[in-house]
Amino acid sequence: MSGTDHKEMEDWGGPQPVMVLVEPQMGENIGSAARAMWNFGLEHMRLVKPRDGWPNSRATATASGASRVLDKTGVYQSTSEAIGDLEFTFATTARSRDLTKPVMTPERAMAHSRALLAEGKKVGILFGPERAGLQNDDIVRANAIVSVPVNPGFASLNLAQCVLLMAYEWRRQGGDVPEEVTELAGTDFATSVEVEKLFEHFVERLDTAGFFFPEHKAEPMKANLRNMLSRMPLTSSDVQIFHGMLRQFVRWKERGD
């Protein structure tokens, strides 16, 4: 999905969780994770013992526009050091663990994150290495587990994919993002009067064509037609197109006659 307009770039300020990548193996995955974060306005990343060292040219190349995240990235030698100043930490894992901890969906985890951050607390999310994910030694340091409802027969998520899921849920939880909108291309929704006039036009043409038959069913058929038109999210342009179609049917019949 593309379409970045740099003139529309927002500086999404305010408190946000820290993404902690534990022993990431490939620079490309770090760069992809940074890009996923910045797609949704997250910019605080920490690395624990990256295998190929830091800074990493492959991470920079893959980040492609998300250098802001990489420029701020801190490097730590242990998980405990990386989360030392955090007051609540989530551990992401797809496998069940024999640990007594709250297990949350990404949606619930990010809602809880926002509540904690609103109280002034520092929050982090742990992501494990590409090879096998987080180990128990890391998970026991977390306050809660985030489990993504993936296919149990193929539960492994790419590091950047997992970061993307959490970043998306973070952004969705916090913005005034409507669940559905209708793009109006240079027109407005039709008014009730416009829809009623269209209904009358349909009735006129269909009545002439003998559509409302038998007679005792005419009124229910007209009611169904009116209901159908009112149920459709018609624009003014749609209404004019229907009027034009109905007029053209008459012209076509007249030419045929």
Q: Cβ(94)–Cβ(156) under 8 Å?
A: yes
Looking at residue 6, its pLDDT comes to 47
Which one is predicted more confidently, 255 or 210?
Answer: 210
The answer to which of 26-30, 37-41, 217-221, 252-256 has the lowest mean pLDDT is 252-256
pTM for the structure as a whole: 0.70
45 bridge partner residues: 19
Three-state SS at 119: coil
Distance CA 203, CA 221 (A): 10
| Residue range 11-33, pLDDT digits in tens | 456 899 999 999 998 999 999 99
- Other CB atoms within a 10 A radius of the CB of residue 176 amount to 4
